[in-house]
Amino acid sequence: MIIEMDTSERGGAEALHRYELNGAYDEMYSAVDHPRKQYRPLHNLLLNLGADQLRRSKHEADQSFFNQGITFTVYGNDKGTERIFPHDLLPRIITGAEWERIERGLTQRITALNLFLKDVYHEGKIIADGIVPGSIIYTCKHYRREMRGIKVPRDVYITVVGTDLIRNPEGNFVVLEDNLRVPSGVSYMLTSRRVMKQIFPGLFQKCRVRPIEQYSQVLLSTLKSLAPEGRSDPTVVLLTPGSYNSAYFEHTYLARQMGIELVEGRDLVVHDNVVYMRTTFGLQRVDVIYRRIDDDYLDPLVFEHGSSLGAVGLFNAYRAGNIAFANALGTGVADDKAIYAYVPKIIRYYLDQDPILEGVETLLMSDPGQREHVCQRLDEYVVKAVGESGGYGMLIGPHSTEQQRSEFRDKINAQPRNYIAQPTINLSTAPCFVDGTIEPRHVDLRPYVLYGEKITVIPGGLTRVALRKGSLVVNSSQGGGSKDTWVLQN
Amino acid sequence: MLSRVADSLYWMSRYFERADNASRVLKATYGLILNPAKFSTEERWFRAVSSLAPGAASNNVDPQRALFLLVADPEGAFSIVKCIGGARENARQVREEISSEMWEHLNRLFHDVTGSELQANDDAGAMRVVTAVREGSYRFHGVTAATMNHDEAWHFIQLGKYIERACNLCVLLDAYFVVDKHADDLDWVGLLSSCAAFEAYCKACTAELKPDRIANFLLLKPEFPYSVRYSLDRMHEALTAISTLSLSRRTDQIERLIGRLRSMVAYVQVSDVIRNLHKYLGEIIEQCRDLHAAVHEVYIDYPIEVAFEN
């Protein structure tokens, strides 16, 4: 249905004029002027909204983010240390059928990776059976020898997961990265949904979008399910590195939504292998810690000795079974980018199933043949450091200079185990409101998965956008932004 | 509640009250220097500066410079902008404890007053900041009372607000009464307006401005929110509530201190203290400090051994 246009409001159709399809899968258009079915209500709205009106909406949204303090910290800037998280005004829409496959695929993948972690830190059968070489596992930057033989509650290692998916030119979702340590961004998913409902109430209702607001309740009950035995009404806390951490807003947001204490390392005291927090009425016992601090900084006795972010004795309390961590320690071994290449085998090994979601073809630089092959064609590949995240330590071949490539060639040859290469994938594009017009930008998708008594995939997620034209890097630290993600009811 | 959180709430509230106090005093004093009077403008500024920024006072402060320093000096620990920043920074540490409305409000006020770089000679700009804080303060108190649980967190906020207010009032009264030989009616209007008390005073005591009545009103009036007596009563309420909520803590020291403090204003007449006001006010401030230290030791930074004894 096309609504009659007021002549003063014709800017919208004009705003869409600069929309060019570039060979990537486009989320909105199946072909020029052919919007996909799920995008039609949005498309109609865009035809009828003036650029001025969009600009006003964008301003309103910005203001709402700013006043709510939905910001991230920019380091090295004394005055304006807070910026609002860059976000795009238009929602990204996923059909119920597409989602159903994502949900099954993620459940399968996470079940397998969790079994893998349990195996790696106990019997090591997958190594003995020659499926994944021990040399790769034991050289992982995030492998934690200290975790050998430790029983974790419910055998759940990865409680909170934020897997990065991308859509390839054929239109299929594939897994780009597993984030199994301390994935972040979920607060942006929740708050941008709130803002979008304010800005596009009619469209939201018309599209029949599945709700995501239950996230905090599910997270809390998931965390509670990890409590040590015999603790009937467990105390759950969120451990933050403090207000200077770039994700601090998210920590406060989640703690408030769940109604739990937000603690810092200095609030915790370990006595006789029991963890307490220091309160105005004395010491109170803590049972479950949702920690937003990396393994290395949790306990200076066991890990990084100079760290004051954690608390002395936490690891012994963990070993004694008096405290649960979410996620468990040492989970980074399963999201190492070299292990990533083995995930299809891992799924087959533990579950005897074919992977529902495929991964991206991954070449290990520790393999001489593959290294040779990639080093000669660096301009075609994306090279990533295995232990890094957040878009750091990465070479995007087609967008690189000869000098960058030669630097990477040296790095790869110096430490082959540290690098993998993947063919450059043209991420799908979605409409974004940029500088007064609507243009396609590359996007990925990070759904959030919670694993306690069972696995829950939240229907939605963070769609990250490479806001620079043509860019394929969506990380917020590298000029990326976010979009609300609408999963439609079947 | 976490001790660290209680501490942040307490300081958020103190900083906010400090900014509020400075804006009240500046608004009143700025109005005052526009009038010709026996007192030179410099002396009036000296009084304002000495009550707002102890230690930073000197006899020859250029009024315009002083206004800038008290409002926006980024270095000075006592400027309004700095105090609002301090309140916000403390609130930021405990975002999950305060209501979203409180944070939003405080955040907006912060961006309001820091948004434009204030120039040293921009009186109008400085007064805009003062007005924004005045209005923002009433709203913040309203939002706080309306949106928070009135539980332990709330009581720590109340405690911070009123301990700061009691001390500020004492310092201000001292600054005015030390020089009351030269004071004229306009000065007394200035003092009353500095405590948002002019109308309330007129209602209770008529517009006749007698120093001892004014002292009585601002020190001992239990019904007026900007009196020392009122502030100490609220502190007592907050401390009793905190002590009841936190059950087993050793609070006898705190009870003794607040009891003694209240008796200083509850069982005196103004004629008993007006002769030696400077000493009397100094004692109240001193005892507030002791109380602050005791609260810190019992609730915030207690030794672990003590906690395991209970």
- Is residue B10 within 8 Å of B156, Cβ to Cβ? yes
| Res B53 pLDDT > 80 | no
**Alpha-carbon distance A342 to B231, whole Å?**
68
Token duo for residue A410: 């040296």
Q: pLDDT at position A7, please? A: 38
Of the candidates A464, A489, A485, A412, the one whose C-alpha atom is nearest the C-alpha of residue A85 is A464
Of the listed ranges A157-161, A168-172, A226-230, A479-483, the one predicted with least confidence: A479-483
| Chain B interface mutation, best of A280, A289, A290, A292, highest count of B Cβ atoms under 10 Å | A280
Residue found by looking up tokens 């974790």 in the block:
A152
Structure tokens at A249: 């807003």
Taking CB atoms and an 8 Å limit, are A281 and B4 in contact across chains?
no
d(CA A464, CA A477): 12
Antiparallel, parallel or unpaired: β A358-359 and A173-177: parallel
Collapse the DSSP code of A381 into the 3-class scheme (helix H, G, I; strand E, B; otherwise coil) and give the result: strand
Query: What are the tokens at A339?
Result: 């292990």
State the residue for tokens 């916000």: B88
Given a cut of 70, is residue B182 above it in pLDDT? no
Give the CA angle between residues B191, B194, B200 to the nearest 5°.
Answer: 85
Count CB atoms within 10 A of the CB of residue A439: 16
CATH number listed for the domain at residues A361-423:
3.30.1490.270
The rounded distance, in Å, linking the Cα atoms of A112 and A62 is 40
Q: CA torsion sign, B226 to B230 to B232 to B234?
A: negative
The per-residue pLDDT for A125 is 97
pLDDT at residue B93 greater than cutoff 60: yes
Q: Is A296 exposed, middle or buried (0-12, 13-18, 19+ CB in 10 A)?
A: middle
B103-123: average pLDDT: 85
State which H helix or E strand residue B103 sits in.
helix B100-115
A271 touches chain B (CB under 8 A): yes
When the pLDDT of each residue in chain A is averaged and rounded to a whole number, the result is: 89
Distance of residue A285 Cα from the nearest chain B Cα, in angstroms: 12
pLDDT band with cut points at 50, 70 and 90 for residue A80: very low
Chain B: which residues have CB within 8 Å of chain A? 1-6, 92-97, 100, 103-104, 107-108, 111, 152, 242, 245-249, 299-300, 302, 304, 307-308, 310
Instruction: Using CB atoms, pick whichever of B6, B93, B103 lies closest to residue A69.
Output: B103
Cα dihedral A287/A292/A296/A301 (nearest 10): -30
- Measured between beta carbons, which residues in chain A are less than 8 angstroms from residue B93? 243
Got the DSSP string for A155-182? G---SEEE-EEEE-TTS-EEEEE---S-
Considering CB atoms only, which of B95, B304, B308 is closest to A252? Answer: B95
Asked whether the beta carbons of A383 and A165 are under 8 A apart, the reply is: no
Provide the pLDDT for residue A11: 47
Q: What is the pTM of this model?
A: 0.84
pLDDT at residue A30 in the model: 92
For residue B128, the model assigns a pLDDT of 92
- The CA distance from B111 to A442, in Å, is 34
Q: Is the CB of residue A252 less than 8 Å away from at least one CB of chain B? A: yes
Q: What percent of chain A has pLDDT over 90?
A: 67
CA distance A28 to A93: 8
Range from A30-44, B91-105, B286-300 carrying the lowest mean pLDDT:
B91-105
Name the pLDDT band for A320 (thresholds 50, 70, 90): very high
Q: Determine phi and psi for A142, rounding to 5 degrees.
A: -105, 10
A264 interface with B at CB cutoff 8 Å: yes
**Chain A, chain B: beta-carbon pairs less than 8 Å apart:** 70
Alpha carbon A190 to its chain's center: 14
Contact A263 B299 (CB under 8 A): no
Q: Which has more confidence, A23 or B296?
A: B296
Full DSSP string of chain B = -BHHHHHHHHHHHHHHHHHHHHHHHHHHHHHHHTS--SS-HHHHHHHHHHHHSTT---S---HHHHHHHHHH-SS-TT-HHHHHHHHHHHHHHTTTTS-HHHHHHHHHHHHHHHHS---TT-HHHHHHHHHHHHHHHHHHHHHHHHHS-SSHHHHHHHHHHHHHHHHHHHHHHHHHHTTTTT--HHHHHHHHHHTT-HHHHHHHH-S---HHHHHHHHHH-TT-TTSHHHHHHHHHHHHHHHHHHTTTS--HHHHHHHHHHHHHHHS--HHHHGGGHHHHHHHHHHHHHHHHHHHIIIIIS--HHHHHH-
A279 touches B at CB < 8 Å: yes
The arrangement of strands across the sheet holding A92-94 comes to: A92-94, A480-487, A462-466
Return d(Cα A67, Cα A58) in angstroms, integer. Answer: 14
Q: State how far Cα A379 lies from the chain centre.
A: 27
pLDDT of residue B308: 76
Q: Which residue, A17, A23, A14, is CA-closest to A429?
A: A23
Inform me whether the pLDDT recorded for A10 exceeds 60: no
Residue A5 has pLDDT above 60, yes or no: no
Tell me: pLDDT of A117 over 90.
yes
* Selection from B72, B18, B75, B78 nearest residue B49 by Cα: B78
Short-list A80, A294, A430, A21, CA closest to B85 = A80
* pLDDT tens digits, B198-212: 999 999 988 888 899
Domain range for B228 is 3-309
pLDDT at A326: 95
Which of A104-118, A320-334, A394-408 is the least confident region? A394-408
Lowest-confidence range among A219-228, A481-490, B76-85, B139-148?
Answer: B76-85
Residue with tokens 């999950």: B96
CA distance B118 to B72: 7
Tokens 């998916």 belong to A165
Quickly state the pLDDT bin for A445 (edges 50, 70, 90): very high
Q: Say how many domains are in chain B.
A: 1
Q: How many CA atoms lie within 13 A of A134 on its CB side?
A: 9
Lowest mean pLDDT among A200-214, A308-322, B94-108, B215-229: B94-108
First to last CA, chain A: 22
Q: How far is A278 from chain B (nearest CA, A)?
A: 6
CA distances from B142 to B101, B136, B151, B231 (A): 11, 10, 16, 17
pLDDT above 80 for A297: yes
B114: left (phi over 0), alpha (psi -120 to 50) or beta: alpha
Q: Identify the residue whose tokens are 């993948």.
A: A109
Q: pLDDT value at position B158?
A: 97
Q: Residue B297 gets which letter from DSSP? A: I
